[in-house]
Amino acid sequence: MPNPPRTEALPDHVDDAGPAATGPGAADTAGPLGFARMTGSSIAGRDAAPWVTDFLNGAYYRRGIADRAVDDLRLAFAVLTTYWHREAAGRRLGLRDLASFHRAFGPLRFDTRRSPRGLLSREELFEGAGRLLGDGFRDSYADDARRGWGIGFPTRAERRAYEPGRRLKLARLGPLTPARAPADRQRWHTYPPVEMPSARAVIDALTLPETWPDYASDIGRFTPLRAGGLAGQTFEIEVAAGTESGLPVFTRGYVTITQLVTADDREALRDYFDRLEAGLAHYGESEPSAIPAGGTPLAGLNLTTHQGHFMGSGLNRLLLYTHEDKAWVRAAGTWDPMPWHLDGAYRLVGKEAQHAFWGEGSVTRLSMLHQLALRLGPKDQAL
């Protein structure tokens, strides 16, 4: 992956100054400063960014590529998110939380018997998490019934009582920014399809938004911010560029599901895919069909951007279909031309990461869709 873009003109991190602008034209007001505000995670303040990044590096990104296991990264994020939920909900992580992490993990990073100096093995992650969060964290993380939103809950009752809106308040969500340029000026792109174990397994997984962090990859993760199911759900997307070098640069964006069609309404499903195929045929540059000839569409959803998204204004789609007795998921995006401060970063590091995240190149550790397929099991189940 190319080196990260030069950022001398932008602050490393800017605290949210207040509620996002709304009303006509608000989507155009984010600009470079608004983009800078979207660095890192909504649950970490700027004074936490250095130690949070160092923790993630020690747990994952500073390892050699061959030594990385993506679930170790998910585990590290779960430690951070669970600690935030228990100790800091209602505020962002900050410098005040560094001491707790240092007491839990610092001695382990100096101990070279199980991992190189400065790094943390998976067992050391669990050992430190036990000091930080209690011995029960290991079991709660491993229990699908007590893990959700990237958090390990002590009990099922506490999981049921969780209010994802607390994180939404920290996000200070801006307005939706659907593509508004003429269709012939928009970028239309389909990503390669990824084979899934079964269509039923995909539906069962994706209709539980609280499980989406379980499919996080080396370069990105989705965390739901609202209670309920998929319709109208909003996600925080945390992405990392420069992961190959072991020097990740983090940013975030927000999307909301603004359309969801399934086989329960076959007319709406058919109209959705007909419109998409027509758009790709007219405006895509040698783009393949969303569904190959002979394929059967099963579901589609639109993820529309919010102000400040790292790709600007537009939407991405997730499409589920069957073809030749196999189940497939693919992404297909439609985007306005990017403003200058996004276009440069996208060309340098974003394009390669974006394409890998949605399955191009079939690098399993980089692709959320490949992680989903891996999580769901062998590809021999009934469709």
**DSSP code string of 287-308:** PPPSS-TT-EEEEEEEEEEBTT
Residue 43, CA atoms < 13 Å, CB-side half-sphere: 28
| 72 burial via Cβ count (<10 Å: 0-12, 13-18, 19+) | middle
331, 369 Cβ separation under 8 angstroms = yes
Mean pLDDT over all residues of the chain?
86
Average pLDDT over residues 16-34: 42
165, 225 Cβ separation under 8 angstroms = yes
| Statement: residue 327 has pLDDT above 60 | yes
| 283 burial via Cβ count (<10 Å: 0-12, 13-18, 19+) | middle
Place of tokens 């191009």: 360
- Please give the pLDDT value at position 339: 65
For 156-214, what is each residue's pLDDT tens digit?
999 999 999 999 999 989 999 999 999 999 899 999 999 999 999 999 999 999 999 99
Domains and CATH numbers, the chain: 38-162 (no CATH), 183-376 (3.30.530.20)
- Please give the pLDDT value at position 337: 87
- Please give the pLDDT value at position 163: 96
Average pLDDT over residues 325-350: 76
Quote the pTM value. Answer: 0.87
For 81-135, what is each residue's pLDDT tens digit?
999 999 997 899 999 999 999 999 999 998 888 888 899 999 999 999 999 999 9
Instruction: Say what percent of the chain tops pLDDT 70.
Output: 85
For 277-307, what is each residue's pLDDT tens digit?
999 999 988 899 999 999 999 999 999 999 9
| Statement: residue 341 has pLDDT above 70 | no
- Please give the pLDDT value at position 351: 62
| Statement: residue 31 has pLDDT above 60 | no
Task: Give dist(CA 145, CA 77) in Å, integer.
Answer: 18
For 58-70, what is each residue's pLDDT tens digit?
999 999 999 999 9
- Please give the pLDDT value at position 21: 43
| Statement: residue 8 has pLDDT above 80 | no
The pair of structure tokens assigned to 254 is 């927000």
3-state DSSP helix/strand/coil percent for the chain, to nearest 5? Answer: 40, 20, 40
